[in-house]
Structure 1
Amino acid sequence: MPKVFLSIQGLRGIAALLVVVHHYYATYGSIHKLAGGDLPWLLSYGNLAVFGAVGVPIFFVISGLVIGLQRFETGAAGIYDFMAKRLARIAPLYWVMTLAYVCWASQLWTWPQLGRSLLFVERPVTGELPALGVGWTLEYEMFFYMAFAVAVVSGIVGTRARGAAILISVFALMVYVNLSTDAAVFGFSGAPVILEFCGGLIIASTIQNRAVTRLWLPYLVVALAILFLSTTAFVGESRNVIFSMWGAGAFCLVFGLAAAEVEGRVFMRGRAFQMLGTASYAIYLVHLVLQGSLLKWPIWYWRWDEIIEPHLGLVLMVSFAASCGLVVHYGFEVWANAWFRRWLLQWSPTRLQLSHPQIADGDGPRIRAVAQEPS
């Protein structure tokens, strides 16, 4: 099995840019519409206007895959180390971007909301979006990490495979109960999106089976068929149907790309794809700060919507978000994560230190998982 899944890294970059496109349409598409202008026709067919949000299921499946492939010590010390590495990967940039957003954004926010957002509990507690909207996906990330730590890293049920199977079963049961009752019994923890993380765990547990990986091409064909169908008017506008198709399509897409790489077929190995994948988390967080605060003033109050054609605006926004994400990643995220990780691990019960710098993102295959974004 490859040590670095280049195809998955490239896919993360594409997923981040898809979310940028989705939020561009949601923000500036509505501004053009309110101003009496035209919406981008490229996003006017079927469900293409919201298709960019498919980046989120892709992130969630990749996250489950990454966690499922990691190496870790079991027991209480193992739980601390595991969560410390995950927190160091997610928190520094998210905290900084959240604070930047509330400082520059024009909409109202409250101190309690900000506190809950920084602690990753806004949606579980209130059901609302955190101060930085895309943070709701990170709240699911942290919830998945904690559940995985309890069920698998703790070693409480024995083998790693048994713990993962129990975790998947419990999540599936909670989602089933939520969907089969009028009231959301499990609320946040029973949302169907949690199954996308489970899909990543399933991929991680089967990716070394050659009988499975030989079918990489059918997986990709099915993935592309599902995702294409989700954009058409044929499926209607039912959010539940569209979201289900995105989850299934993301699962097959990640499975197909990972299986293909095991079989020696690598996609998106180019430097541009790899750089975007490496900076995908920064792109994911930074773009909403740009769109939701800094750029709203010139667009709305200085009437840039009357000067810049919508499709040109889309190209400029994607390019600007990608450039800013790369700058933030290499200029801040890399060293901030490394510093915070060292600081957390110095309190580890096992006194683990960063003695293996060649292993990225906390052991296992070098795929960095974050998911990243709502819609």
Structure 2
Amino acid sequence: MKSNYFFRSIHAMRGLASFAVLISHSLTLYPFFEFRAAAAGVDIFFVISGIVMCLAIEEDTSKLDFIKKRIIRVVPLYWIATGLSVAYIYARYPHMSHSWDWIIRSFLFLPQQPGVDMPILYTGWSLNYEMFFYLILFLSLFIFKNAPIAAACIVAMIASFSAVGNLISYNYFFKQIFIEFSLGILIGYFLKFGGRVEKNLGIFLIFLALVIFFIHNKFASSGFLAWGVPSAMLILGAISFENSELFKRNFVKIFGDASYSLYLVHPLVIWGIEWYVLPEHRGILQVAIAIAISIFISIIFYKWVEKPLMRFLSKNL
């Protein structure tokens, strides 16, 4: 991505999204209050992904360079985290038979067989959608001059099939949430051509997004309209404060930098607590410990694994 297309606000929203997902999953240890809206962190990620891909693709973008960068960014770390997840499964459940099909599909970002909802590392379900989105963009680069718009239309078409009850027996990618990539692409074009959000409008969008999140959290809603639309509003609102000192703070930057590591490693921390602390002994303390340890390990993982690995692969591939 060109440096002039880097938005501190969007980078910060990555950190916020990952932190929200961490809270959502940590509460499974001891759900002492309802915070379903935290799961919208994934929706924020999807909208951001659409924005970033739109900003990254130029007329002279190399097709192979595009897909190489996407693979380097997503795959190696996910494989490391999935490998650790496999080790955890075998260590905790040594007497259970484990499906190789489940493991292979998890590593290859493929939908699981009917009856199996998640890959081994459960946060990987969203990366299945992410990689499918990258594939659509990659193929669009070969066919269309304006690949992001073409990809946005294709993604919207696929998402629209979610309205058809039994189009096929197993419609993994035909989900409302998939359209959030298209929404992100539209925002990306808005920014790419100089569009900006005034602060007054930004404050209004943030307020409106929080109200929508609160209402849908209260009534246990789901879907694109419940979480995707307010996620886009929240991101646009944050962009209006692009030059804010808050987004220049080191702790905000490191949260954005380590967001992917946090997204991948926190399930392992939660599993470890589940393994050693019986349900009847869990409380708010265990939730707080899961959050604190996950943040600490993710920063270490980012500095000592993710960052050096990305540098090495980018240089040598």
Task: Confirm or deny a common fold (TM above 0.5).
Answer: yes
1:217 CA displacement: 3.2
TM-score (norm 1): 0.75
1:286 CA displacement: 0.5
2:292 to 319, 326, 334: 319
Instruction: Kindly report structure 1 stretches of 4+ aligned residues shifted beyond 6 Å.
Output: 124-127
TM-score (norm 2): 0.87
Q: Which structure has more RCO (C-alpha within 8 Å, separation ≥ 6)?
A: 1
Could you say which residue in structure 1 is the equivalent of 2:104? 115
Could you say which residue in structure 2 is the equivalent of 1:147? 136
AA aligned opposite 1:60 = F
Matched, 1:172 2:156: yes
1:208 CA displacement: 4.6
Cα distance in 1 between the residues matched to 2:136 and 2:115:
20
1:191 CA displacement: 1.4
Could you say which residue in structure 2 is the equivalent of 1:85? 69
AA aligned opposite 1:189 = F
Structure 1 vs Structure 2 CA RMSD:
2.6
1:53 to 34, 39, 42: 39
Per-residue CA shift, 1:303-340, capped at 9, x if unaligned? 7x53x6x2232222111100000001101111112222
Where structure 1 has 5 or more consecutive residues not aligned to the other structure, the ranges are 30-38, 345-375
Cα distance in 2 between the residues matched to 1:116 and 1:248:
31
1:212 CA displacement: 5.4
Matched, 1:103 2:105: no
1:295 CA displacement: 2.3
Could you say which residue in structure 2 is the equivalent of 1:230? 216
Could you say which residue in structure 2 is the equivalent of 1:245? 226
Structure 1's 237 and 220: CA in aligned 2 closer, same or farther, altered over 3 A? closer
Alignment of 1:65-76 (within 5 A): 65-72=51-58, 74=60
Alignment of 1:129-208 (within 5 A): 129-151=118-140, 153-154=141-142, 156-158=143-145, 160=146, 163-184=147-168, 187-208=171-192
Could you say which residue in structure 1 is the equivalent of 2:259? 280
Identity of matched residues, % = 25
Structure 1's 123 and 205: CA in aligned 2 closer, same or farther, altered over 3 A? farther
Cα distance in 2 between the residues matched to 1:255 and 1:238:
22
Per-residue CA shift, 1:171-215, capped at 9, x if unaligned? 222222331333357823321111111111011101255665234
Alignment of 1:29-48 (within 5 A): 29=30, 39-40=31-32, 43-44=33-34, 48=35
Higher mean displacement: 275-284 or 330-339:
330-339
1:144 CA displacement: 0.5
Tell me if the contact between 1:68 and 1:201 (Cα under 8 Å) persists in the aligned partners: yes
1:216 to 192, 199, 202: 202
Cα distance in 2 between the residues matched to 1:255 and 1:99:
36
Could you say which residue in structure 2 is the equivalent of 1:5? 7
Tell me if the contact between 1:148 and 1:167 (Cα under 8 Å) persists in the aligned partners: yes
2:309 to 311, 336, 339: 336
> Residue 82 of structure 1 aligns to a residue in which SS?
helix
Cα distance in 2 between the residues matched to 1:321 and 1:211:
37
> Residue 130 of structure 1 aligns to a residue in which SS?
coil
2:18 to 16, 19, 27: 16
